[in-house]
Amino acid sequence: MKGHILAYTLRLYLPLFLIGTAAGVVHLVGRRSRDPLRRRLFDIVWILILLAGAPLWLFLAAAMGWI
């Protein structure tokens, strides 16, 4: 029973963790860039990942019946 709960929790929250991790990596790479244009591009991508990634995943999870 406990393994089932762990699998359900991972299936539910792992995509959010991956979205957050990807956003963090993009933000870190953007902060380390010396080129201002590249830094601005990474900032835009970082914001889009956060603004679009989590709500899109929540809609998908609700549509598939995970929530």
Distance CA 23, CA 65 (A): 26
Contact assessment for residue 34 and residue 21, using Cβ atoms and an 8 Å cutoff: no
Question: What pTM, to 2 d.p., does this model score?
Answer: 0.73
Span 7-27, average pLDDT: 87
- What's the confidence (pLDDT) of residue 38? 95
Whether the predicted pLDDT of 1 surpasses 80: no
Distance CA 51, CA 12 (A): 19
Which residue range forms the structural domain that includes residue 46? 2-64
Q: Summarize pLDDT for 27-55 with one digit per residue, the tens.
A: 999 999 999 999 999 999 999 998 988 88
Q: Categorize the per-residue pLDDT at 17 as very low, low, confident or very high, splitting at 50, 70 and 90.
A: confident
Number of domains composing the chain: 1
Q: Which of 15, 28, 22 is nearest to 61 (CA)?
A: 15
Q: How many CB atoms lie within 10 A of CB 23?
A: 19
